[in-house]
Amino acid sequence: MRIYSVHGRPWAGTGSPPAMGGAASWEQSCARASELGFDTVLTRTDAEVAPFGEGGLPQALEVCSRHGLDLYLDVEIDPADQPLQAWIEILIHHAKEGAAGFLCRNPSALPAMDWCALVAAVHQKHQDCVFLAWTPGLSAAQIKALADCGFTAGFLSLPWWDYRSLWLMEERDRLCQLGRVIAPLSSSDDTAGQRALWTAAFIGDGLMMPAGLEDRIGPQPVIQANRWLVQRAESGARVSKLSGPRSAMTAVFRGGDSARLLLLNPDAQRAAPVDRGMLASRMPASYILPASDTNEVPETLEPNACAVVTVSLADPVSLSGTAAGLARKNATPPLDAPRIAIESITPNVDAGQFPVKRTVGERVVVQADVFVDGHEHIAVQLLWRPGDEAAWRRAPMQALGNDRWQAAFVPERLGRHCYTVQAWRDAWHTYADGLRKKVEGGQDVSLEAEEGRMLIAAAIERIQDDDADTATTLAALLRSVGRPQDRAENTQKRRPAGVAKHPAIPAASPEQIKVLLSSDMAAAMAAADDKPFEVSAPVHLLTVDRREARFASWYELFPRSYSPVPGQHGRFVDVIARLPAIRDMGFDVLYMPPIHPIGLRNRKGRNNALQAGSDDPGSPYAIGSAEGGHDAVHPELGTLDDFQELLRETRAHGMEIALDFAIQCSPDHPWLAQHPEWFDWRADGSLRYAENPPKRYEDIVNPDFYTAAGTTRQASLWRALRDVVVFWVEQGVRIFRVDNPHTKPLPFWQWLIAQVQASAPDVLFLSEAFTRPKMMYRLAKVGFTQSYTYFTWRNDKSGLQAYLTELNTAPVADFFRPNFFVNTPDINPHFLQTSGRPGFLIRAALATTMSGLWGMYSGFELCEADSLPGKEEYRDSEKYQFRAWDWDRPENIIDEISRLNHIRRSNPALQTHLGIRFHRVDNDQIVFFSKATEEGDNIVLVAISLDPFARQGGTLEIPVDLWGGEPDQSTRLRSLFDDGIFVLHGDRQYVELGPDRPFLLWSVLSPA
């Protein structure tokens, strides 16, 4: 929607609606609006329709129609002027005359129920009539109240934005509840008009511009912005701010089919540098910036300037063969007796046996100890490549001191990569360094100059056929220092007896020495280097995932509990109705337990009873029945087409679905009849059911990975399980939560994950392995993208700090990505059972701020904690029965979870578990830490009380060194939860945290 608004005040409903001040003026304005690319005209002044009299509106509409425009009326409905029914009749009358819609300027003037009645009454007569709500200044609660009243769109408070603060993106998220989001321009947008125009077109689904603004900023930018809106077409795309509040520029990403990046300079006086590296590492999903040589990303933005950058999805790596084969592709054959040692390469996982993990656009910093015997110099370089490319990409490594070298690269493709370190004796650097030292010592270097000539001549001869340009450069430099003497000619000269035969060495001039030590000579000799004693380290592997591998918020639900009729089996379509609420809470991933047919034999009843009632649905983990197995859908949930519809709707709401991959079968699973050799049969001929002694799971049997039946039968089982995952990948699923992977062979997982990601490198695997630490880590090494963790049971300060420190320390930090689930259908933590609403707030705050990945099982937002006595299990668990949830349950924490998720999205420092630093506070019931981005543009301070029952106070030792501050300086901070700015003085601050709000989150803006 592209609205051209005529100046003046809104119509108050009396008499005929206003029109333009004369037919000619109206004709001119409509023609101008059409030429500029608008599709709608909004009338706003009383003086503008009068010449048309009683027939004014129809005639005005005829002019609009001729120019391809809709006409909207700007109304200010005030019940004090006229009763509601009168307003309804007025609007119906003008809709009948042809008005396409109304902009309601004061939506807070009527209660929501009156708006519903008014809009419904008009729609009953004119169902296509559009209602727009003027929403700037409305609270979140007021906007939410309007969500179901029939409004098609709301308006952003763009004219009041400082082009830096976070609140505009949060307002946009709230307005999505109404539908489309329109960004209005102000008549005062003059000197920065183009910046405001492109911001409106970019952030909004449409824009509204006051007539005449085009005369100040020029018509061409308006035409271009409107044309861009038409070409972009889609609405509802997720818009997110990538830069922190301390960044000199503001970066905003808009997704959808035509993803773009908007760069803004909020400053009216100073140019803003553009940090390309920061942008590359924060692009959502798998988007990458244009290549640096295209110059599409400016290096700086002039004051008040903006730039729109086209971004694209990363090209996935397509592997052939197995991942292990990559390790055999060394850069060069190994030398028999290398003089150069390459040691302690980082990052590495088990000396390169397993891949390091990064996300696309994330910088990989490689270091190594490299040294050689003697005093000779060496050259060291980093080699890296995507797994499906043969040629190595190279970057010189820089010496850090103490034989430590460093270089970095940024992967821009998904999937497997390789990297290694290569070194050789740098003959020219060794020579030049020795020559320089002798010159500085005042020694005669004529002989050294001659040796340099010989090295240059040898290099020319070596490369003249392969690198003519370098050979030509070296030849010119050699003429400057003189050709080397002919040693054969000199040795043939007669000399007195007893005098050694040496060639005559000419004296070296200062000019010749200067050329020998010049940077031009060094560069040419480096290009001609034959790399003597070259050695390469073993190849290390790198897995590059999409960014959701390290940053996402998970929401788990049982779809069968979502029927609108309590007690009835829910269907996929019922979940679709709940998607807006889950999206509004800020979740990215919707995870569902197994959706496959459930067996009947030995079906479990409520609360894990051994006998099921006739209406008990059974456990979804008892997979398989006559209706099918792991590649089928439980009939009561719907069909595969219904599941596809749920996938589409979930994506449309900016989320994606994760499926549960549980390798277990009910006794009714088709595989038991088709492949009995895949299962374990006891001595009496009965099946061996799943056990975790003393527990028995009579409704489940596990495939036998350790049968003595032979490798052929095992191979067919492995392939069948792989094909299950591939089937769901082909349906569009890109995330799998894997149930109890630690009870299956590690080589199986390494093989299966490599097989799937070879052709679909964007697939992610979450390991649900609450097991021993080394097994948990090994599963991550063999390929699992993320893992459940021990966070669920870390409730005290020392335990939390020790665990997060472990996760932030190499090598664990290089391969293990923790997903902090606060609860699961299997785990109702004791802490939540006894701590009430404050306990749920504490665990939500810890999970959302400490880890880039966190998750919750539905009911957590309602503070559901009813448990079986003495157990960490839910009473009336959804694993065995339907649950009807009251989403408006009193004392819920839906708003708090929504706010925490929005804060995470807006603060890059909170989008990973890495970078955490714990700080001193004189109370063991308060944990205090900071999270900072590598670039330092986003620093968040977090303090959380661990006591759900009483207020806790303490003095925080503020880490002012993080932002280059001094202990006696003042610092400007933003309270992220309350969105208020305040000044903190010095490096100490006393705080009190109570059960009602047991946490604080501050963003560092700048020294005051």
Residues labelled as active-site residues: 739, 768
H helices of 37-78, in order, are 56-66
Cis before residue 694, ω within 30 degrees of 0? yes
Confirm or deny that 740 is annotated as ligand binding: yes
State the maximum Cα–Cα separation within the chain, in Å, rounded to a whole number.
130
Q: How much is the CA Rg of the chain, to the nearest whole Å?
A: 35
Give Cβ neighbours of residue 414 (< 8 Å, ≥ 6 apart). Answer: 286, 314, 315, 316, 317, 360, 544, 545, 546, 761, 762
Is residue 82 annotated as involved in ligand binding?
Answer: no
3-state secondary structure of 393: strand
Which secondary-structure segment (H or E) carries 514? helix 510-516
Phi and psi at 926, nearest 5°, equal -125, 130
Beta strand residue intervals within 449-491, DSSP E? none
699: region left, alpha or beta (phi > 0 left; psi from -120 to 50 alpha):
alpha
- Is 923 annotated to bind a ligand? Reply is no
Q: Are 223 and 37 in contact (CB under 8 A)?
A: yes
Burial of 223 (0-12, 13-18, 19+ CB in 10 A): middle
- Exposure on the CB side of residue 965, measured as CA atoms within 13 A: 24
List Cα–Cα distances, 800 to 353, 773, 781, 796, in angstroms.
Answer: 30, 15, 23, 6
**Beta strand residue intervals within 509-647, DSSP E:** 535-536, 540-545, 552-556, 589-592
Q: Which of 152, 160, 112, 118 is nearest to 133 (CA)?
A: 152
Asked whether 557 and 520 are in contact (CB, 8 A), the reply is no
- With CA atoms as reference, report the closest residue to 658 among 555, 741, 534: 555
Q: What is the three-class DSSP state of 128?
A: coil
Q: Tell me the C-alpha distance between 650 and 657, whole Å.
A: 7
Q: State yes or no: 880 annotated in a binding site.
A: yes
664 is in an annotated binding site: yes
> Around Cβ 110, how many Cβ atoms within 10 Å?
20
Annotated ligand binding at 786? The verdict is no
Nearest in space to 851 (alpha carbons), one of 543, 542, 545, 554: 554
As a whole number of angstroms, the distance between CA 752 and CA 717 comes to 12
Residue 637: CA atoms inside 13 Å, Cβ hemisphere, count? 28
Whether 347 and 811 have beta carbons less than 8 Å apart is answered as yes
As a whole number of angstroms, the distance between CA 890 and CA 895 comes to 12
**3-class DSSP state of 598:** strand
- Supply φ then ψ for residue 247, to 5 degrees: -75, 145
Contact 573, 566 (CB under 8 A): no
Report the binding-site residues for alpha-maltose 1-phosphate: 604, 664, 699, 740, 879-880
Report the binding-site residues: 604, 664, 699, 740, 879-880
